[in-house]
Amino acid sequence: MRITSKGQVTIPQDIREQLGLLPHCEVEFEIAGDAVRIRKVKGSKSRGQRLLEAMRKAPKPRMTTDELMAFTRDW
């Protein structure tokens, strides 16, 4: 595994599945000697919770089905 010029790495799928890491979830890093540990942040908001918050803040009080689908597509 290589680190990109932006300092990014790809977490292998089997590790993401074991830890329950989904897109947009928060993780934290801990230095342990010469190693780094990664873990899912406890109490972080789920994808659904973040989506509901964003929908509540949406500028229009009512959306058509097409607008709602377009809004949720990126989540």
Dist CA 40 CA 19 (whole Å): 7
Q: Is the pTM of this model over 0.75?
A: no
Q: Are residues 37 and 55 in the same domain?
A: no
**Dihedral-angle region of residue 27 (phi above 0 means left; psi in -120 to 50 means alpha; beta otherwise):** beta
pLDDT higher for 40 or 47?
40
60 and 36, same domain (yes or no): no
**Spatial separation of the C-alpha atoms in residues 13 and 57, rounded to whole Å:** 33
Same domain, 30 and 61: no
Name the H helices within 1-75: 13-19, 47-56, 65-72
72 lies in which domain range?
A: 45-75
Q: Are residues 34 and 54 in the same domain?
A: no
- Both 53 and 66 in a single domain? yes
Q: Are residues 34 and 51 in the same domain?
A: no
Q: Encode pLDDT of 10-28 as tens digits.
A: 999 999 899 888 887 889 9
Does residue 16 sit in the same domain as residue 4? yes
Measured distance CA(22)–CA(48) in Å, rounded:
12
The pLDDT value recorded for residue 36 is 93
